[in-house]
Structure 1
Amino acid sequence: MKRIHIILAVLVVATASSVSAQTALGGGAYPNKPIRMIVPFPAGGATDILARALSQKLGEKIGQTVVVDNRPGAGGTIGADAASKAAPDGYTLLLATSSTHSIGPAINPKIPYNAETDFTPIAYVASSPNIVLVPNASPARDMREFMAHARKNPGQLNYASSGNGTIVHLTTEYFKAQSNTFILHIPYRGTALAMPDLISGKLDVLFDSFVTGMPHVKDGKLRALGVTSLKRTALAPDLPTVSESLPGFESVTWFGVYGPKGLNAELTARVNQAMNAALSDADVKERFARLGAEPTGGTPAAFAAMVKADNAKWKKIISERKISTE
């Protein structure tokens, strides 16, 4: 009889532990309902398309539907803020970008969340470089020639951006600081609006998004001098990096997944594992490539360290170059 009591006691403890573990994972074996992935940008844009490619495969790997929830506005701030205030139960994720967690916090002191402490980093999803474009009539055939040309003509060359405080603007100012060149800034309301002026030679250079810039190179309308990733991109392996002429230069748009603050380690690891499996899928890699993005993956700690370094870099350049969104 005593033996039976001992066995029953062990079973009760085991059952209680199982229930406790399941409760920690959202009231049942996680995930037991659809997962929401907030995308802080409009439907149809590059971030949204990337999110939909990722969410489909992530759903397969984690065993539950992942629903994309577009919450656009204020440069990604509205959606990111909503994610930061969600319950840390693993059922709300955020597809963040350098705009929401590196550049935005660096340039906007009134942002409604703390990018470092109000979220739980889960996985570095992908990165996309900028591409340096010049008119076909430009005397520069590569980055070294362009820098020499700019140094010989201080204040005589100009560059376009998609507006003050954008990644295109900051990347070019970063380049100017590193290369000791003086090139005038002409802001547009988007790089697409600047393209006709660049093609015609009214503009001298544009550090455009790879996905929107490369088609003009393939069509023979513009010349590409380099990409802004630290290493050559598999998307255009023959194209040199800017860092080959300007050591250490790097500027990429990154994409990563966060949970709200307080997401426990077990859930974080579960989503990270499924995310890395999804990013290894050939179909995801192919769909990302069409957007000019390369899958990354890795640990939550590595992702957090990358974002911290990226934010520090942009804070420094914004301060030194006295950049604002005004």
Structure 2
Amino acid sequence: MKRILAVMALIVVAGAPALAAYPERPVRIIIGFPPGGAIDTIARLMGPPLAERLGQPVVIENKPGAGGVVAAQGGARADADGYTVLMGTMGNLSITPVLTKDLSYDMEKDFAPVTVVASSGFVLYVNPAFPARTVGELIAYAKANPGKVNFSSSGNGGLPHMAGELFNSATGLKLTHVPYKGSTPSVNDVIAGQVQMTFEATAIGLPFVQAGRLRVLATTGDQRLAVFPDAPTVAETLPGFSVTNWFGMVVPARTPQDRIDRLQKEIAVVLARPEIKERLDALGVAVVANPPAAAGRFMQEERARWAKVIRDANITAN
């Protein structure tokens, strides 16, 4: 009997690593926006080398709708096993949870942080035919032509929307918000002249600026961007104005911490690769890849910051 029990114990011990192996099947990354946007570009750049590191396919799944809410709902309902990752923007990870009431999920209770993948400069783009050449001229033109200047966004509650509303608040203007279902259609209508301007990520507008189909009026961070060195910041005209986008990853709450740590570790290794960093630098995207605890603190701080902006500016989701 002792020999039988000893053999059984060895079988259990030998089998334990196999049972605990992760991942054993494809990992799915859900994105709440259509293909072609900055977040989609970053995810698809990371996908192949991350799959190589994990030893399993990494599937990028676009689930656009309601400014990233549809994807977040799906992420919150997924099994907490490390096989479903929600990759979001500052908009749907930090702004939407405080801007939108009666969500079916709680960003802090239903999700666990993995990492802040990267941060990206934000830019005020205008149609090339728009008469204003500076932020000051834009403000003067909008005041002289009330109701004639619109700004597009990727959807209600997203960072492009909030940046525009913050601009309204800082200038006393009432630029009309025109929401779209994603960054690509939003930018396309600025290019077509249907809308005069938009606040968007560097990566999205850069190729159109290079092709002469968009013009950079200003950047929105605290410092000028290397990719647009001649473009002033909005803060040079409106002191204190600051908007920087970031992209983060979260998983369903109660996902085993060792799996979260493995994901973060492999993501950090992938983002440190010279060829990946070079591609991101060219898009105006800076790698962050911080540990889960630091990412969680940062996301909470961002939610608190934007809650104050929303409250002070009396901004609503609609």
- The question of a shared fold, defined as TM-score above 0.5 by the shorter chain, is answered with yes
> Normalising TM by the smaller chain, what interval?
0.7 to 0.9
Number of residue pairs matched? 308
Instruction: Summarize the alignment of residues 55-204 of structure 1 with structure 2, pairs less than 5 Å apart.
Output: 55-134=47-126, 138=131, 140-141=133-134, 143=135, 145-146=136-137, 149=140, 155=146, 158-162=149-153, 164-177=156-169, 179-187=170-178, 189=180, 190-197=186-193, 203=196
What do the CA deviations read for 1:229-287 (whole angstroms, capped 9, x no partner)?
Answer: 33433433443333444444322332211121012332222211111111112332344
Question: Alignment partner for residue 268 of structure 2, among 268, 276, 287?
Answer: 276
* Structure (1 or 2) with the larger CA radius of gyration: 1
User: What's the offset of the Cα at 1:221?
Assistant: 5.3
**Shift in alpha-carbon separation, 1:152–1:230, aligned structure 2, 3 A:** same
Aligned twin of 2:295: 303
Instruction: Tell me the TM-score normalised to structure 2 length.
Output: 0.79
> 5+ residue gaps in structure 1?
none
User: What's the offset of the Cα at 1:188?
Assistant: 5.5
Identical positions, percent: 32
**Shift in alpha-carbon separation, 1:17–1:150, aligned structure 2, 3 A:** farther
What do the CA deviations read for 1:137-169 (whole angstroms, capped 9, x no partner)?
Answer: 64544x4x4487479859587341235544223
3-state SS in 1 of match to 2:121: strand
Contact 2:82/2:255 (<8 A) preserved: yes
Using the alignment, how far apart are the partners of 2:60 and 2:179 within structure 1?
30
> 5+ residue gaps in structure 2?
181-185
Contact 1:171/1:251 (<8 A) preserved: yes
**One-letter code aligned to 2:161:** H
What do the CA deviations read for 1:65-117 (whole angstroms, capped 9, x no partner)?
Answer: 22223333333222222222223222222212223212221222122111112
Using the alignment, how far apart are the partners of 1:213 and 1:261 within structure 2?
35
Contact 1:229/1:241 (<8 A) preserved: yes
**One-letter code aligned to 2:173:** F
Contact 1:230/1:250 (<8 A) preserved: yes
**Shift in alpha-carbon separation, 1:148–1:253, aligned structure 2, 3 A:** closer
User: What's the offset of the Cα at 1:44?
Assistant: 5.0
Q: Is 2:33 the partner of 1:41? A: yes
Q: Which moved more, 1:111-120 or 1:261-270?
A: 261-270
User: What's the offset of the Cα at 1:292?
Assistant: 5.2
**Shift in alpha-carbon separation, 1:245–1:184, aligned structure 2, 3 A:** closer
